[in-house]
Structure 1
């Protein structure tokens, strides 16, 4: 009987690993296809051969500028920012055991947004100063929320409620700044707030790539500990996990990912909120879904940008499309949680 149960557990574990590997590979292929589509689409469409030659460094008149200067930075920014949003959102949702615990729901991205709007509208600066300010503000707000949520002991529910309150306050500050600003400066701030890949340059990519690789590797490395935290505080401590230290590493990595990605592209709505649940449904339970969530986030951003740029007569920023996709899911989730008494 014992051997039979062991075989059943082993087979189930193997099936889950195979499923996760297949889903991750499929997401990788789909994301790669979307990257190719973004390089192909534009006012002038070049053959795959020409695109490959340009990527290999060959100077082809017209194509080198269109692909290497405009389309490639846009595609890479969407890919890396989407991965950052997806991995960070999945980390928060898993660690806090609540699908509402997304960085753009609990106020982390709002902190970056306030700093960016303040720089654009009040201090009249742009470029790297805006990005640095957004990163610092996002990290500061995240740790402020984390510190307030601790009390006597850490509480995920308390963190979410405090985060939602902080987000409401920061959004009010943004609205105040927009209302009091010079009308000629407002469009630049609104473009940033909408979340957009317009105007991306290759100079934006190395920093974003470095942050995604370093913080993403940390989140993957702590994937097992993250799944243990999902069991709850008491169970994690019983299993020997040093919860405070582990949670601190996870929060630092996830917050830095979301803050830096937001600084580069603006707050692309609902990607961090959607990527984790979608990846979880496809890859299944019992595994660390950090990599599938990152690929899902990248696919969402790339697909939304393609739709926003080419599916309508008017071109829309990527954040508008992801907002349209995410809002119905948020409403559905709230209705579902209300019916189940707050269960995730």
Structure 2
């Protein structure tokens, strides 16, 4: 396969041509969907009116920049974060089913957030910290119960599904024991929704996701070395234990931050990395196509959620669950056929 080499001084980056074309195409699709998201709503604005409003020269500036744009940006950033989280765990487990929503990390993050909501009310920072703590605890339990097979194999997936089921039951019990107003809010939030998000609510999650993605960028060379095999990675100076710990922190962090802001949005982390891998024609699970595919998937699902029963806006998690359920069935059948 032909490759492109980008040089900046002494630094050279080799990129597969198909992966570059895929990334460019996904970026164009994401921009098109974002423009559509800014146009769509109770009042339809033409693309020209949207562009004028973004530059402060037209009407509807408040609606577009303060109401619609935070939601569109949240769909793009949260979708990219979930795509990266899925790619991290699928690379670690070397299994297409090894995503946060399957192995219980989504449910664990939700448990942590619920504990914060019911015990202390919860600011944005407290929700984020509670979600991260819950996700890390779930990851620790899953790893401890599947340690005989390390971070690979169907054992981890089965253990993760079992932990996910138990955490889901625990979450239901917490909601039932909570006060009525808290229980109603938590139940609605559990569907995963971008409805009503504003800049104040997404500023902290965006910053945290930016830090996590920057950390992943720093680790990208070591990740590439590890993908070539453990022995080669060790001989090239990669500390595999430290690398895997940092990757788990990135994956759990991305999942937990999204959960703290929008609730558990399932199946994007499962589907995006595999779709991105097939589009890019990569042997592994590349992070950039996974992130871009996640952004496109979540924004497309949110647009569908807004239009299916308009003027009633569905939680985006309802759409991703419906689509992801069919994808999961197909993936399970495919995995079962492997020798």
Structure 1 residues 164, 229: closer, same or farther in 2, change over 3 A? Answer: farther
Q: Give the distance between the partners of 2:290 and 2:283, measured in 1 at CA.
A: 14
- The corresponding residue for 2:317 is 319
Q: Quick one: distance in 1 between partners of 2:192 and 2:211? A: 24
- Could you tell me which runs of 5 or more consecutive residues in structure 1 were left unpaired when the two chains were aligned: 1-10
Name 1:281's counterpart in structure 2: 278
Matched, 1:175 2:172: yes
**Match for residue 219 of structure 1?**
216
Q: CA RMSD in A?
A: 2.6
Whether the aligned pair in 2 keeps the contact of 1:196 and 1:318 (CA below 8 Å) is: yes
Question: How far has the Cα of 1:213 moved from its partner?
Answer: 2.3
The residue number in structure 1 matching 2:7 is none
Task: Output one character per residue of 1:37-74: Cα deviation in whole Å (capped at 9) or x when no partner.
Answer: 1111011122334323332345x66x133112210111
Range moving further from structure 2, 309-318 or 319-328: 309-318
**Compared with structure 1, are the counterparts of its residues 226 and 299 closer, same or farther at alpha carbon in structure 2 (3 Å cutoff)?**
same
The whole-number CA distance in structure 1 between the counterparts of 2:87 and 2:176 is 34
Q: Are the structure 2 counterparts of residues 172 and 232 from structure 1 closer, same or farther at C-alpha, using a change threshold of 3 Å?
A: farther
Question: Secondary structure in 2 aligned to 1:156?
Answer: coil
Q: Normalization by structure 2: what TM-score?
A: 0.86
The reply on whether 1:262 has 2:259 as its aligned counterpart is: yes
Corresponding residue of 1:51: 50
**CA displacement, residues 2-57 of structure 1 (integer Å, 9 cap, x when unaligned):** xxxxxxxxx55569711010000000010011111111101112233432333234
1:184 deviates by 4.6
Relative to structure 1, is the Cα distance of residues 287 and 171 closer, same or farther in structure 2, using a 3 angstrom cutoff? closer
Which residue number corresponds to residue 305 of structure 1? 302
Matched, 1:98 2:95: yes
Aligned: 1:330 with 2:328: yes
State the partner residue of 1:115. Answer: 112
Deviation at 1:261, TM superposition (A): 1.4
CA change 1:286–1:224 in 2 (3 A) is farther
Of stretches 320-329 and 176-185 in structure 1, the one that deviates more from structure 2 is 176-185
Structure 2 residue 155 is matched with structure 1 residue 156: no
Contact 2:277 / 2:285 at 8 angstroms: preserved in 1?
no
Which of these residues, 162, 167, 183, is aligned with residue 165 of structure 1? 162
Query: Gaps spanning 5+ residues in structure 2: where?
Result: 5-13
- The structural deviation recorded for 1:230 is 4.0
1:172-218 CA-partner distances (Å, limit 9, x unpaired): 10122234445554331122111100120101233222223222233
Equivalent residue for 2:10? Answer: none
Q: Which residue is 2:11 aligned to?
A: none
Structure 1 SS opposite 2:274:
helix
Tell me the TM-score normalized by structure 1: 0.85
Alignment-derived partner of residue 8 in structure 2: none
Show the counterpart of 1:17.
16
After superposition, what is the alpha-carbon deviation per residue over 1:315-339, rounded to whole angstroms, capped at 9, x for unaligned?
A: 3111110111111111111112212
Tell me if structure 2 keeps the 8 A contact 1:77–1:205.
yes
Instruction: Name the CA distance, whole Å, in 2 between partners of 1:315 and 1:44.
Output: 14
Deviates more, 1:104-113 or 1:214-223: 214-223
Choose 21-30 or 168-177, whichever is displaced more: 168-177
Q: 8 Å contact 1:220–1:290 — kept in the other structure?
A: no
The verdict on how the C-alpha distance between 1:288 and 1:113 changes in structure 2, with shifts beyond 3 A counting, is closer
CA contact under 8 A between 2:87 and 2:287: conserved in structure 1? yes
